[in-house]
Amino acid sequence: MSHDHDHDHGSGSHLDDMTARVMALEKVLTEKGLIDPDALDAIIDTYETRVGPRNGARVVARAWTDPAFAEWLARDGAAAIGSMGYTGRQGEHLHAVFNTEEVHNLVVCTLCSCYPWSVLGLPPVWYKSHAYRARAVSDPRGVLAEFGLHLPAGTSLRVWDSNSEMRYLVVPRRPEGTEGWDMEALAPLVTRNSMIGTELALAPTAQKASQP
């Protein structure tokens, strides 16, 4: 959006309604000294370039390679994750949940869009959609099938409805064939969706397997 471009509030406006509405709001708040426009740019930059799912992937990869860290993460997720520098908004009360052979975890917020921004960034559209929020609790296996994930019959599914300020990070199972890989090699296998529970971590490719 161009900010040096005056918006015409009359009939000559070529801006869509929401663009015009948000620009008007920003202008009012700026003129009244309630917001600093440069702060808005800094907020956007933070969530576009600095905070995203690579934070969470590093947490998971470290948990896979460092048993003491994994134990800390299980016991006090917020502190363990905070020690890696991933703190802040929508990550104040983080709890890590570990997938096992017996239990697969899935996170949803049926009431709004609670999501662990500090480790995963802003949520994808599907996470915020009514379709996901409605069915993740009542038909989680159907939802997972739409992601292409079919759990083995013997696996229990645990859905976490994130409805207070608690936020959840799913620690997917470490893929087979990654024995001896270090954290840096493992982190690319950890997808955002695998940390919500709608996918598994990626299997190592032949190319990646040759890297460590």
- Residues with catalytic annotation? 109, 112-114
By the rule CB under 8 A, 149 interacts with other proteins: no
Report the site for other proteins in 113-132 (rule: CB under 8 A).
113, 118, 121-122, 124-126, 128-132
Contact 141, 158 (CB under 8 A): no
For residue 188, give the DSSP letter: G
Residue 47 binds other proteins, judged by CB under 8 A: yes
| 105 in Cβ contact with 178 (< 8 Å) | no
Task: Find the binder of other proteins among 72, 110, 175, 202 (CB under 8 A).
Answer: 110
Whichever of 35 and 183 has its CB closer to other proteins, that residue is 35
Cβ atoms within 10 Å of 37's Cβ, excluding its own: 12
Binding-site string for other proteins from residue 67 to residue 106, where x marks contact by CB under 8 A and - marks none: --------------------xxxxxxx-x-----------
Using H for helix, E for strand and C for coil, what is the string for 68-126?
Answer: HHHHHHHHCHHHHHHCCCCCCCCCCEEEEEECCCCEEEEEECCCCCCCCHHHHCCCCHH
For residue 113, say whether it is annotated as part of any ligand binding site.
yes
Place of tokens 């083995």: 152
Tokens in use for 191? 């997808």
| Binding span for other proteins by CB under 8 A among 21-29, 64-72, 169-177, 180-188 | 21-29
- Pick from 5, 10, 39, 180 the residue near other proteins by CB under 8 A: 39
> Which residues contribute to the annotated binding site for Fe(3+)?
109, 112-114
